[in-house]
Amino acid sequence: MDIYLPIAELSVNAAVIIGLGLIVGITSGLFGVGGGFLMTPLLMFYGIPPAVAVASSATQVTGSSVSGAMAHWRRGGVDLKMGAVLVAGGIVGALLGSLLFSLLQTIGQIDLTISLIYVVFLSIVGFSMLTETVRTLRRQAKGIRPKRTKRHNAFIAALPGRMRFRAAGLYISPLAPFLIGILVGVLTFVMGIGGGLIMVPILIYVLGMSVSVVVGTSLFQIVFTTAAITMLHAVQSKTVDIVLAVLLLLGGVIGAQLGARIAIGLPPEKLRLALAILVLIVAGRLLFGLTVAPDNLFSVQLGGI
C-alpha cells in the first residue's frame, strides 16, 4: 500500500516502512539498543531525504525508548541527577548540532558528513565492543574471573566541583557527564540516533558508573534529548515527517517487544558479539558507499549556496 509522506514529499510503500521498523525494533529489543544507527541509514538507502530521515528517526526513537525508560524508572534504575545533567548537556549538544547541520546543508556536505560520522563512530564502537567481548569470552572459556575495572579516570577526577550521584555510585564533577551529554547530543542531532550505543560504554568505562543504573539513565536521557531534538528540527529545519515516524513506530514498538522476548535465555556475551559484528557491517556498508563511484555524479538541491 502506497502512502504519501507530507514532509518528505514522496510516496512510500507503507508495508516496507513498517517492515523496516519491525526489523530495527527486533534488533533493538534483542540487543537492548535504540536501533537508530540502523534506522537512519536504512531510510536513506530507501530514498528518504537525509534531513527528513534523521529528524523523523529522532522522533521515532523518543517513542521507542519511553516504555523502556519507564520500566527502568519503576525499578529504580534511573539516576535522576545524572540523567538531568546528561539531558542538559544533550540539549546544548543538540543546539550545536543544529548549527552544524544547517551549515553543512548550505555548503552541500551534509550527506557526506552524516556518512563519515557514521563510519567513524560505528567503527570505534564496533571494534571496541568486539575486542571487549572476545576478551570476556576467552576469559570465560579459561575460567578466569574478570579483573576489576579501574574506577577512577585521572582527567575526570581533576575536574572541579565534585557532586554525589548516589544511584550511580559516583562522586565526580557534573562537568564530566555534561560534556558527555554535549558530545552525544551533537551526534544524536546529526545522526538521528538515540545515542545509547555510545552513551552506555562511556558511562561504564569512562565514568565508572554502576552498571545497574546505566541502561535506565541512558534511556532517560534518550527520551528527553530526542524529544528536544524533534522540537529543534520541527522549528528550524521543518523536516520532521510525523507520518513516517508513526509508520516506523508501529513496526518498531512491536519489534522491540519481540526482540526482547527472543533475547531472554540467549547468552548476553554472544548477543554483544553479534551486535558488534552488525555495527561493523553497517559501518563497512556506508564506507563502501562512499568509495564506490556513484552512478550519477550530479545532485540537485532546491535553493542552496
Partner 1 sequence: MRILLLLAALIAAPAGAQVAPRLIADLSQSRIDIVYTFAGAELLVFGAIQYPDGKMPDERPDMAIIVRGPPESITVRRKERVLGVWVNTDAVRFETAPAFFHAASTRPILDIVDERTAAIFELSPEYLQLSPGGGADAATVTAFEAGLLGTWGSEDLYGADPVGVDIVEDVLYRARIDLPSKVPVGTYSVEIHLIQDGDVVSSATQTISVEKSGFERAVFMMAQNKGAAYGVFAVSIALLLGWLAGVILKR
Among the listed ranges 5-13, 88-96, 123-131, 195-203, the one in contact with partner 1 (CB under 8 A) is 5-13
Considering Cα of 197, then 202, then 204, then 209, what sign does the dihedral take? negative
Cβ-based neighbour number of residue 91 at 10 Å: 20
Instruction: For partner 1, give the closer residue by CB, 36 or 177.
Output: 36
**In angstroms, what is the minimal distance from the CB of 83 to partner 1?**
17
Out of 45, 46, 109, 157, point to the residue binding partner 1 (CB under 8 A). Answer: 109
Contact, 188 vs 229, CB < 8 A? yes
101: Cβ–Cβ under 8 A, 6 or more apart, which residues? 51, 110, 189, 190, 237
Residues in region 236-255 near partner 1 by CB under 8 A:
236, 238, 240, 242-243, 245-246, 249-250, 253-254
Residues 262-301 that bind partner 1 (CB under 8 A): 290-294, 296-301
Position 75 contacts partner 1 (CB under 8 A): no
Smaller CB separation from partner 1, 119 or 207: 119
Report the nearest approach of partner 1 to the CB of residue 91 (Å): 14
Which cell goes with 84? 538531568
Q: How far is the CB of 204 from partner 1 (least distance, A)?
A: 25
16, 70, 84, 175: which one binds partner 1 (CB under 8 A): 70
Is 64 one of the binding residues for partner 1 (CB under 8 A)?
yes
CB of 139 to partner 1, least distance (A): 35
The x, y and z cell numbers of residue 35, run together, are 536501533
The region of 149-157, 182-190, 208-216, 227-235 touching partner 1 under the rule CB under 8 A is: 227-235
- CB 95 → partner 1: shortest distance, Å? 14
Amino acid at the residue 156: I
Residue 63 touches partner 1, criterion: CB under 8 A? yes
**How many CB atoms are located within 10 Å of the residue 278 CB?**
18
Site string for partner 1, 123-162 (x = CB under 8 A): ----------------------------------------
Which member of 40, 62, 105, 225 binds partner 1 (CB under 8 A)? Answer: 62
Q: Are the C-beta atoms of 118 and 191 separated by less than 8 Å?
A: yes
Buried-exposed string 121-135: b where 16+ CB fall within 10 A, e elsewhere: bbbebbeebbebbee
By CB under 8 A, residue 68 contacts partner 1: yes
CB atoms within 10 A of CB 95: 18
For 221-256, the DSSP string reads HHHHHHHHHHHHHHHTT----HHHHHHHHHHHHHHH
Task: Tell me the site size for partner 1, rule CB under 8 A.
Answer: 59
Q: Which listed range, 3-11, 79-87, 91-99, 210-218, lies at the site for partner 1 (CB under 8 A)?
A: 3-11
Is 67 a binding residue for partner 1 by CB under 8 A? The answer is yes
Helix (H, G, I), strand (E, B) or coil at 295: coil
Dihedral angle of Cα 142, 145, 148, 149, to the nearest 10 degrees: 40
Measured distance CA(175)–CA(180) in Å, rounded: 9
Query: Amino acid identity of 226?
Result: T
